[in-house]
Amino acid sequence: MEFNSADHTRTTTLESLDPGCRSRIIGIRAFGPLRKRMLAMGMVPGAEVEVIWAAPLGDPVEYRVKGYCLSLRRAEARLIEVLVEVR
Amino acid sequence: MRIALIGNPSVGKSLIFNQLTGLGVEVSNYPGTTVELQRGNTCFQREIIEIVDLPGVYSLEGNSEEEDLVRRFLEQEDVDAVVVVASATRLERNLYLLLQVAEYGLPMVVVLNMVDEAAKQGLDIDPGPLHDLLGVEVILTAASKGLNIDRIIPAALAASRPAKVEIPYDHHIEAAIRSLGKMFGVDRKESLRALQGFGENPELLEAARTIADEIESRHRMTVAQIIAANRHNFARRLAELTVREQHPPPGADPDSILTRFIPGMPILIAVLVGMLLSVFVVGSFLEEMIVEFFEVYAVQPFLALGLHPLLEELGVSVLIALQAGLGIALPYVFLFYVIISILEDSGYMTRAAFLADNVMHRLGMHGGAVIPLTLAFGCNVPAIMSIRLLRSRRERIIASFLVTMVPCSARTVIIAGIVAGFVGLAAAFSVYAIVFILIILTGLILSRVMPGERFGMIMEMVPLRRPEPRLVMKKAWSRLSEFLFIAMPLLLLGSVVLGLLEFFGIMTVFEGIVEPYTMGLLGLPGYSATALIFGILRKEMAFETLAILAGTADLGAVLSSLQLYVFAVVTVLFVPCLATVTVLLREVGSRITLAVTVYTVTLGLLIGGFIHHLFS
Ligand SMILES: Nc1nc2c(ncn2[C@@H]2O[C@H](COP(=O)(O)OP(=O)(O)O)[C@@H](O)[C@H]2O)c(=O)[nH]1
Ligand SMILES: [Mg+2]
């Protein structure tokens, strides 16, 4: 995790965010078919993602992106780098 | 004239397809895949128009079977026009695929479906900007109400121009497109595809690769990511021009009820148990009625005719197959398809998958596997048919192994009739315990050793909506007829073969040959092998045949408790019934069906032998 005090943002991965958190994607570290699927579903650099909530056993997690909801397992969300604003 | 419907999953393509073609839907398997293309014909101004319903995809550049199929279809078949169906409620994401299709350069019509739902969500859809930017006709439809569906065919016939869209890419990508174009004389679309590693020309691919590597090292982002991000950005701009939010969507969110631990989990369990109960109660009631009806009005009158023995054997085999097929098909398959169609259309299926994913993932599958596995307790046949819900072939194969091992209601009859009846209740439960442990072990092992693509659990949560009874019944009926026309002939054939083997005394010879082995391995008399084989036809028949061959229904008098227990365990694990095998053949192909069969037979014999030797 990096903290950038100049513009009050920090970079982290999607899986570490709490429900209700909004962030902007800056990179996808997945490879092969998984990355292609993520890109096709709108998980692309620049997209805004909001965490909705996790399933009862903690996995998967529901996110809102591009005006619709999708679920991702934590192991997959860990591959998505995001930028969050720090209040 | 051929028109193809293309779009994201669950945007209403199939519904539009059905409305355009009416009845007369023809299902065809595309070579080399299990994914289906639906083709149908319609007549417009005395011209026959073929309409193809392509499987739903999110992109044309992925590696899933569906994406492969759609790509090959667009490249190889001559399509006169593509109708891109997009959901007006999720336009931004839908436009991503639309833009990719537009880059293919085929004549195109855009259908923005579900405008009724969009209106409910307070979205105002204006087709103007899309029409101006793409230069193609844009039709607003609500397929569930039949609104504007009649405008699709005329628009497709009139479509002669491809969309004129040019997506502005990052300047490095644009430069790469230009230099590849100069070097190889390829167009924009081909350059873009080459940059992402698609294409036939090895020199072009090599050059594209070098450029792509350079861009990647400069941007610290792969070319595919940059292209995808550019397309999504453009899609967002188009969506902003097209969709106006009139008022914020209503506050209460049913998902907060369905996907939270409380009450989400209790609801899921109630839905699954309800599904099972309805099959146990309604399904088995109907099955008994049909079987009884057949017995009284078909089998017995036929036997009373006193035909030549060979004819009689053939006739009875056919009747038994019909009885088994209709006895299973009508009550179980139909009932389950009604239930599945409701779960699918309401959108609850994705919520169930979301809740159950954690557990299913450990067994190597997607959360959606909870449905086939639960269905299997009622009857394996519809359960196997529903593994289609799983996205990758890898998961479908794992599911086909596990589903066939689940004790269905017919196997419950065996466990109840033989073990609970003659050995004891605790013993009956122990049979279930053995089977469950084996299922879990099989899942754990398969999830580790199975090769194949993993797409993870990236799943769209489709909107919840009230299912339409008429559409649900139609869907259930079309699936039922699929079972009747495809699985029934195979079932008939299998039954006749078994009947002939019996008639020509091959069974008796067989019993003599296997007796030493069944005695040595399982401690069972030779005739039990015949009962096991008849169990393939219908699982409960193992029980009935055993009683007939033993000469008494009081099995406890002729066989020891251990023998009965071993017989039940072997029957329950042994080859899935013929009806299951026929649907397996259709869903996963002959190799996997063979593997499942060999695995279950081996497992049954091994476990049976182990129990026999442990306790005798
Ligand atoms: N409200 C509404 N529902 C629709 C409309 N079109 C399709 N649906 C529903 O959306 C779901 C998915 O439709 P389907 O044709 O299976 O989508 P496909 O995956 O694209 O083939 C079904 O439950 C349809 O009844 C529409 O215009 N309005
Ligand atoms: Mg469809």
CA B322 to each of CA A28, B202, B316, B317: distance values in angstroms, whole numbers, following the listed order:
55, 56, 10, 9
CATH number for the domain whose boundaries are A2-85? 2.30.30.90
Q: For B57-64, what is the mean pLDDT?
A: 85
Give the pLDDT of residue B441: 94
Instruction: Kindly list the protein residues whose Cβ atom lies closer than 6 A to any atom of ligand 1.
Output: B 7, 9-15, 56, 113-114, 116-117, 142-144, 345, 465, 471
Q: Is 90 exceeded by the pLDDT of residue B465?
A: no
Task: Between A66 and B332, name the one with better pLDDT.
Answer: A66
Ligand nearest to the CA of B345: 1
Classify residue B241 as exposed, middle or buried by CB count within 10 Å of its CB (0-12, 13-18, 19+): middle
Beta bridge partners of B111: B85, B139
Q: For B150-166, what is the mean pLDDT?
A: 89
Q: For B214-242, what is the mean pLDDT?
A: 91
Q: For B353-366, what is the mean pLDDT?
A: 87
> pLDDT category, B256, cuts 50, 70, 90?
confident
Which of the listed residues B11, B13, B15, B349 should we mutate to test ligand 1's pocket, taking the one with most ligand atoms within 8 A of CB?
B15
Tell me B54's DSSP state: P
> pLDDT category, B28, cuts 50, 70, 90?
very low
- Within 8 A of A50 by CB-CB distance, chain B residues are none
Task: Between B581 and B326, name the one with better pLDDT.
Answer: B581
The percentage of chain B sitting over the pLDDT mark of 70, rounded to a whole number, equals 95
* Lowest pLDDT segment from A8-12, B63-67, B95-99, B186-190: B63-67
Produce one character per residue of A27-36: b if its CB has 16 or more CB atoms within 10 Å, e if not. Answer: bbebeebbbb
Residues in CB range of B55: below 8 A, 6 or more apart: B9, B35, B36, B37, B66, B69, B70
Which of the listed residues B144, B147, B340, B479 should we mutate to test ligand 1's pocket, taking the one with most ligand atoms within 8 A of CB?
B144
Residues B581 and B575: beta-carbon distance below 8 Å: yes
Chain mean position to CA B440? 22
Q: What is the pLDDT of residues B430-439, one digit of tens each?
A: 998 999 999 9
The percentage of chain B sitting over the pLDDT mark of 90, rounded to a whole number, equals 34
Beta bridge partners of B82: B4, B108
The structure tokens listed for B393 are 């072939």
CA-nearest of B286, B414, B372, B290 to B584 is B372
Among B90, B359, B367, select the one facing A68 at the smallest CB separation: B90
Dist. CA B50 → ligand 1 center (Å): 21
Give the pLDDT of residue B533: 84
Catalogue the E-assigned strands of B261-397. Answer: none
- Within 8 A of A54 by CB-CB distance, chain B residues are none
Range from A43-57, B236-250, B499-513 that averages highest in pLDDT: A43-57
> pLDDT category, B34, cuts 50, 70, 90?
very low
CA-nearest of B57, B52, B34 to B385 is B34
* Lowest pLDDT segment from B214-228, B260-274, B373-387: B373-387
Give the pLDDT of residue B101: 93
Dist. CA B119 → ligand 1 center (Å): 15
- Domain limits, chain A: 2-85
- Within 8 A of B125 by CB-CB distance, chain A residues are none
Give the pLDDT of residue B32: 34
Check CB contact under 8 Å for A72 and B454: no
CA-nearest of B116, B113, B157 to B138 is B113
Is residue A60 reached through a cis peptide bond, with omega within 30 degrees of 0 on the bond before it?
Answer: yes
Give the pLDDT of residue B251: 55
- Within 8 A of A46 by CB-CB distance, chain B residues are 229, 232-233
Give the pLDDT of residue B27: 41
Q: Is 60 exceeded by the pLDDT of residue B229?
A: yes
Task: Between B400 and B255, name the one with better pLDDT.
Answer: B400
Mean pLDDT, chain B, whole residue set = 85
Q: For B448-452, what is the mean pLDDT?
A: 82
Rounded to a whole number, what is the distance in angstroms from the first to the last CA of chain A?
A: 16
Ramachandran region of residue B307, left (φ > 0), alpha (ψ -120 to 50) or beta? beta
Distance CA B492, CA B379 (A): 19
The 10 Å Cβ neighbour count of residue B377 is 20
Beta bridge partners of B27: B38
Give the pLDDT of residue B26: 41
Q: How many CA atoms lie within 13 A of B93 on its CB side?
A: 27
> pLDDT category, B29, cuts 50, 70, 90?
very low
Strand duo B81-87 + B2-7: pairing: parallel
Check CB contact under 8 Å for B228 and A58: no
Question: Which domains does chain B possess?
Answer: 2-158 (3.40.50.300), 171-245 (no CATH), 261-615 (no CATH)
Pick the residue of B71, B93, B362, B447 with the most A CBs within 10 A to test the interface with A by mutation: B93
CA B156 to each of CA B3, B125, B343, B486, B615: distance values in angstroms, whole numbers, following the listed order:
7, 21, 33, 34, 72
- Does this model's pTM top 0.90? no
Distance CA B256, CA B380 (A): 33
Shortest CA gap A32–chain B (Å)? 9
Shortest CA gap A57–chain B (Å)? 7
Check CB contact under 8 Å for B260 and A53: yes
Give the pLDDT of residue B31: 36
Distance CA B131, CA B155 (A): 13
The structure tokens listed for B92 are 């931004």
Q: For B228-242, what is the mean pLDDT?
A: 93
Check CB contact under 8 Å for A39 and B64: no
Q: Is 90 exceeded by the pLDDT of residue B97?
A: yes
Residues in CB range of B426: below 8 A, 6 or more apart: none
- Within 8 A of A32 by CB-CB distance, chain B residues are 63
Distance CA B512, CA B529 (A): 10
The structure tokens listed for B405 are 């091992």
Q: What is the pLDDT of residues B482-528, one digit of tens each?
A: 777 766 787 788 788 878 888 888 888 888 888 888 888 889 988 88
Distance CA B594, CA B125 (A): 52
Q: Is 60 exceeded by the pLDDT of residue B240?
A: yes
Give the pLDDT of residue B305: 86
Q: Is 90 exceeded by the pLDDT of residue A84?
A: yes
Dist. CA B98 → ligand 2 center (Å): 17
- Within 8 A of B259 by CB-CB distance, chain A residues are 53, 55, 62
Give the pLDDT of residue B215: 92
Residues 236-275 (B) with a CB less than 8 A from some CB of A: 236, 239, 255, 259-261, 264-265
Beta bridge partners of B243: B125
Residues in CB range of B166: below 8 A, 6 or more apart: B188
Among B90, B91, B357, select the one facing A59 at the smallest CB separation: B357
Q: What is the pLDDT of residues B583-602, one digit of tens each?
A: 899 888 999 999 999 999 99
DSSP character string of B453-495: ---TT-EE-PPP-PPPHHHHHHHHHHHHHHIIIIIHHHHHHHH
Distance CA B467, CA B341 (A): 8
Shortest CA gap A24–chain B (Å)? 13
Q: Cα–Cα–Cα angle for B194, B196, B202, nearest 5°?
A: 35
**Which amino acid appears at position B247 of this protein?**
H
Q: Any idea which residue has 């009683």 for tokens?
A: B547
Of ligand 1's atoms, which has the minimum distance to the CA of residue B142? Answer: 27
Tell me A17's DSSP state: P
Q: Any idea which residue has 């091994």 for tokens?
A: B606
Distance CA B585, CA B582 (A): 5
Give the pLDDT of residue B148: 95
Among A41, A59, A67, select the one facing B458 at the smallest CB separation: A41
Q: What is the pLDDT of residues B177-225, one digit of tens each?
A: 999 999 999 988 889 989 988 888 899 999 999 999 999 998 888 898 8
Distance CA B123, CA B603 (A): 57
Q: Where are the alpha helices (DSSP H) in B196-260?
A: 202-219, 223-242, 255-258
Of ligand 1's atoms, which has the minimum distance to the CA of residue B9? Answer: 19
> pLDDT category, A5, cuts 50, 70, 90?
low
Distance CA B331, CA B317 (A): 21
Q: Is 60 exceeded by the pLDDT of residue B23?
A: no
* Lowest pLDDT segment from A30-44, B209-223, B303-317, B486-500: B486-500
